[in-house]
Every structure is written in C-alpha cells, then in structure tokens.
Structure 1
Amino acid sequence: MSQTRPSISAMLGFWVIAWAGSLLSAALAVETYVKRRWPSRSTLGLGAVVGLSAILFAFVGIGALVEGALHRAAWLRDDEMALWVGVLCLWSIFVFGALRAIPWVVARRE
C-alpha cells in the first residue's frame, strides 16, 4: 500500500483552519470575559466579530476539506467518514457564527 503525501495547499489549509479555530476560540473567550466583567456593557460588536469570524472559518475549512478530499480519495469512501464529519462540524460552526452575528445585524437595521 503506497502512501501519498498531502499537497502543499492541503497542508496550508490545515494550518489555516488550526489558526482560525484558535483565534475564534480566543475571541469567544474575550467576549465571555467582557460579558462577565461588565454585564451592562453591550458586546454586540464583539459578538459580530466572533460570528463573522466563525462564518469565514467555516467557509475556509470546508474548502480545505474538499481540497484534501480531492487529493486523497480514501476520504470519500463510506467506511471513512472523516470528510463528512468535518463538513458537519464546520456547518455547525457556521450556524453558531450566524446566530452570534444576527443580533448585531438586527441592531444595525433599527
């Protein structure tokens, strides 16, 4: 059985996802800290940053997963659900981002 090395773009995509996930977690931690420290202060702007970052992270992540799947066809087999689990996880991050950004969008329209 021969092993193929992932392409440069797939590896770059992995690192972009890893860094974006870390930054998203840090932004969420800062937002939670601000809410607990100063409850009367509005965090809609920070929530929008977290939400829009999550949406961007989901798009980049799904693109990187698809890029990796194109170079490694084993991901598309039924017995290895890594591609679909990854896509579903990133879809849930997208939904989280949309739910975090919606209050900011509604507040801006009023």
Structure 2
Amino acid sequence: MPLALAGLWESWKGPEETIESCTILTTEANSLVAKLHDRMPVILSSSEYDTWLDREVDDPGKLQSLFHPFPSDLLEMQPVSTVVNSPRHEGEDCIRPEGAS
C-alpha cells in the first residue's frame, strides 16, 4: 500500500539560479516506530489529502491537527539490509527483506 507523507516544496528564483527544495514533516513516533526512533514521518490518511493540499487554508490549526502518529496497526515493520543506509543506493535492494536474495 502506498503511503502519502506530508511534505513541503518551495521554488525560489535568485539572481543567478533557481533553488528548489523539499522536506518531509515529522511527528512523534507511534508504538511500532518508537522501537527504532523517537520520530516518524507525518503519514496522511486518504481522508486528509484534501486538507493538506488546500492552498487556501487560513487556520494553521487545521494543518497542525494532521501532525499525529499514524496508527501502528496500519503499518508493518520489515527488517531490510544495511544497503539502505547509503544514499548512493537505489532500487529493489533497499527494500528487499533482510536475508533474501
């Protein structure tokens, strides 16, 4: 199942270049992720997509209400190889279960 992460994207045009940047927002970890780290990405449920993508939201509280840990029972943890630790690696090897070839 694909996951939608809350992120921000910005494009800024300077005198010499255009700078494009992005970030993934985080929140406190749920009970599953807390075994590994104290933070996790803000994962949006399908019912939250429209709120997150609405450029006309004028109440910050509407967006802040989305910054909660995703339910643990809707996620599955799967050990993977340490190949995932390097940003130079891409592809299926990064998600292949540990010990699988």
More strand by share: 2
More helix by share: 1
TM-score (norm 1): 0.27
TM-score (norm 2): 0.28
